[in-house]
Amino acid sequence: MSGRPEQLFPLFAGLETLSGIGPRTARLLARGGIEAPRDLLFSLPYSVVDRRRRETIRGADLPCTLTVEVTVGAHRPPRSRGGAWRVQVEDSQAAFQLVFFHARADYLSRLLPVGARRVVSGKVELFDGMAQMVHPDHVVPVEEAASIPEFEPVYHLTQGVGQKLMYRAVQGALARLPDLEEWIDPALLASRRWPGWAEALRRAHAPRGADDLAPSAPERERLAYDEFFAHQLTLALARARERKARGIQSIGTGRLQRKVLESLPWRLTGAQQRAMEEIAADMAAPERMNRLLQGDVGSGKTLVAFMALLVAVEAGGQGVMMAPTEILARQHLQALQPLAERAGVVLEILTGRDKGAERKAKLAALKAGDIHILVGTHAVFQDDVAFRDLRLAIVDEQHRFGVRQRKELAEKGVAADVLVMTATPIPRSLALARYGDMDVSVLDEKPPGRKPVKTAIVSSARLDEVVEHLRCAVAEGRQCYWVCPLVEESETRDLTAAEERFRHLRAALGEGVVGLVHGQMPPDERDAAMTAFQSGRMQVLVATTVIEVGVDVPNASIMVIERAEIFGLAQLHQLRGRVGRGQADSTCLLLYHPPLSESGRRRLEVLRETEDGFRIAEVDLEMRGAGDLIGTAQSGLPKFRIADLERQAGLMATAQTDARALLAADPSLSGERGRAARVLLWLMRQDEAIGLISVG
């Protein structure tokens, strides 16, 4: 496909080619991201002004925008410079004033000659009991009244560009709409009663009321779908290319997996069983696996991941599991060590701390194939790290792991299968937008034996009661996390909060009972405190959010979160997931600083009501929006101009199914609908995707 199709040329021409737009306006529009007529088409109005003619302003619910025919009366020039110039006017039933500031006398007497009939349109307000229209938007002779649109769309503007100019520019772009072949599946188009592409744009720019502005309006829904479809088509093309890259077939014998499963005191959940089967089937296939394992706190992801690693070992290869931090890598090591012993496989860890002879010995064993499974941080990327036969790379995502690292990792093997794990439940629409090129396995059941965590919301005014409650719990041998917030992003302030709480609790509960961990500590001190807590030598751990990910202390049964109202929902859910892992009944106390804001209260109540991470993520999405939910800058979320990920989530799933089906039926997009889809990719500036279309 050589280049942009000719029928799209007018939409990608310079803005100056539109009438009334000069170089200066073009520069101003470009600042707001509008660089071609195409961008004007996708800048839909957010509001509409009803300018239908009325007989009179009498009886109108002021302030509001009105359009009436008037007879022009006396002009009252301002008393002082820069004051208001007032013009008396009368419609069929009421008198009011038109008000102008900084007006020129000659201009106003030409615009509004005394005794003339004019149609005026603008916002009418009451001022000192008198109705006024300040700076009317339109003043025209009666015979030109048709030039005032009945419904005027209102656009988001960039500085220096007014509504009238924007409206004119959009009308110019609409005049150039080409007639394009339909890329949407005909059955879908018919069942949704969506208009064609050009018709949808014309309607979207001519709303006649609030209903036409809603995401559910057929024309808007269709245009949103086009964006989702182009995005999912791009991801599907990337997926098809990935899958074409030869993978290695790793077929497990089940021998090692059986050893582990037989030694477990409980049975796998249905979700774990399903995920393991999906992963094993992918690993056995000749294409490369690219799968996301999404699981809520405590859904048993580690076991599923380890089973996948065993498939690699059973097939005669090696596996690697990567974590974003050393503390987590060690955690994985601790969790997997007993399982590895049961299976009789060699498990090792490699982090930045390995130096000299010890590191050399590990690297030699890895290259010889004597280490079956490696756990590590990004230290496993270094050039001198070589595997004998790497089959599977598992990445613990935590949103800190980009596509580039996934690739670097896979390049360590010939074409290792990749499994990405995330512990943050993501609503389906976001998972599709962000991981649409991957296949997804979801763990949505808790293993038997996980007890529910009782959650309570407590005002910080009752701090002394909480400490007293803690004293009794410690006397019974229970363990507790006490989390202090990161205050205003300032490392130093955040430490003082944690350190003060640490001193206060140590004074109340006694020396040696309370420990402290925070992000600024030297790693060995932090590890020492964690280890003391894990082994039960210390009973209360005061921490900043470094414990959010993956610390596993089954005996800890109390979680206190201070200033809970300033944490995000997902983070609170993750923190709460640190307790309820053992036999004891667990509680989570959310301490807040009164008064609570409306959104603060809603967040805490959602946590009290449910432990379902997916439900919590949905509420989070409603409350914060997609960009915030995964941190827009590094979220990898596409920027949609029309589509709304929160309100149109269902469309994204349809778009993914549709895109994958189209590519399966027509991999080179050379059929009738395939060619139309290519035009859509050009239209949506998905140039990268166009390069991925398989030739022939």
- Domain 453-610 sits in CATH at 3.40.50.300
Task: State the residue for tokens 């609170």.
Answer: 572
| Interatomic CA distance for residues 41 and 444, integer angstroms | 42
Question: In the prediction, which pLDDT does 633 show?
Answer: 33
Strand blocks (E) in 532-594: 540-543, 556-561, 586-592
Burial 617-627 (b: 16+ CB within 10 A, else e): bbbbbebbebe
Maximum average pLDDT range among 100-109, 240-249, 325-334: 100-109
The pLDDT-based confidence of 631 (bands split at 50, 70, 90) is: very low
pLDDT band at residue 1 under the 50/70/90 scheme: very low
> For residue 628, what pLDDT is reported?
44
pLDDT tens digits for range 505-543 = 999 998 889 998 877 778 778 878 888 888 888 999 998
Residue 402 predicted with pLDDT over 70: no
Domain locations along the chain = 52-148, 255-443, 453-610
pLDDT of residue 297 exceeding 90, the answer is no
Using the predicted structure, report yes or no on whether residue 391 has a pLDDT greater than 60: yes
* 546: confidence class by pLDDT, cuts 50, 70, 90: low
The answer on pLDDT for 70 being more than 90 is: yes
pLDDT in tens, 346-363: 999 998 888 889 999 999
Q: What is the band of 406 on the pLDDT scale with cuts at 50, 70, 90? A: low
Q: Which of 263-267, 444-448, 602-606 has the highest mean pLDDT?
A: 602-606
Question: What average pLDDT does the structure give for the chain?
Answer: 86
CA 393 to chain centre: 25
What pLDDT is attached to residue 444? Answer: 81
Q: Is the pLDDT of residue 217 over 70?
A: yes
Q: What is the pLDDT of residue 245?
A: 67
pLDDT at 327 over 50: yes
Residue 637 confidence (pLDDT): 59
Look at 391 and 408; give whichever has higher pLDDT. Answer: 391
pLDDT at 149 > cutoff 70: yes
pLDDT recorded at residue 117: 96
Range 601-611 average pLDDT: 90
- What HEC string does 170-219 produce? HHHHHCCCCCCCCCCCHHHHHHHCCCCHHHHHHHHCCCCCHHHHCCCCHH
Q: What pLDDT does residue 614 have?
A: 80
CATH code of the region 255-443: 3.40.50.300
Give the pLDDT confidence of 78-102 residue by residue, as tens digits: 988 778 999 999 999 999 999 999 8
Residue 87 contacts residue 75 (beta carbons within 8 Å): yes
Statement: residue 695 has pLDDT above 50 = no
Q: HSE-up of 120 (CA within 13 Å, CB side)?
A: 27
Per-residue pLDDT band at 597 (split at 50, 70, 90): confident
Q: Which of 158, 148, 13, 126 is nearest to 68 (CA)?
A: 148
Cα–Cα distance, 109 to 461 (Å, whole number): 69
Would you call 482 helix, strand, or coil by DSSP?
A: strand
pLDDT attached to residue 112 = 95
How high is the pLDDT of residue 551?
Answer: 62
Q: What is the pLDDT of residue 311?
A: 97
- Superfamily name with CATH number, domain 52-148: Nucleic acid-binding proteins (2.40.50.140)
In this prediction, residues 3-13 reach a mean pLDDT of: 92
Averaged pLDDT, 399-409? 57
Could you give the percent of the chain with pLDDT greater than 90? 54
Distances (CA, A) of 446 to 300, 398, 454: 7, 20, 16
Most confident residue range from 263-267, 321-325, 330-334, 462-466: 462-466
For residue 45, cis peptide bond before it (omega within 30 degrees of 0) = no
pLDDT in tens, 633-683: 334 456 788 988 777 878 988 999 999 999 999 999 999 999 999 999 999
Q: Are 378 and 299 in contact (CB under 8 A)?
A: no
Contact between 40 and 169 under an 8 Å Cβ cutoff? The reply is yes
Secondary structure, 3-state, 621-634: HHHHCHHHHCCHHH
Cα distances from 33 to residues 37, 484, 554, 686, in angstroms, run: 11, 41, 52, 16
The whole-number average pLDDT for the span 396-420 is 66
pLDDT of residue 448 exceeding 80, the answer is no
For residues 203-227, average pLDDT: 94
Query: Lowest-confidence range among 416-420, 495-499, 525-529, 627-631?
Result: 627-631
- Give the angle 197-202-207 at the CA atoms, nearest 5°: 125
pLDDT at 399: 47
Q: What is the pLDDT of residues 451-491, one digit of tens each?
A: 789 999 999 999 999 999 999 999 999 999 999 886 544 55
The pLDDT of residue 155 is 94
Q: Give the three-state DSSP class for 478.
A: coil
Q: Over range 546-560, report the average pLDDT.
A: 74
In angstroms, the first-to-last Cα distance of the chain is 11
Percent of the chain with pLDDT over 70: 91
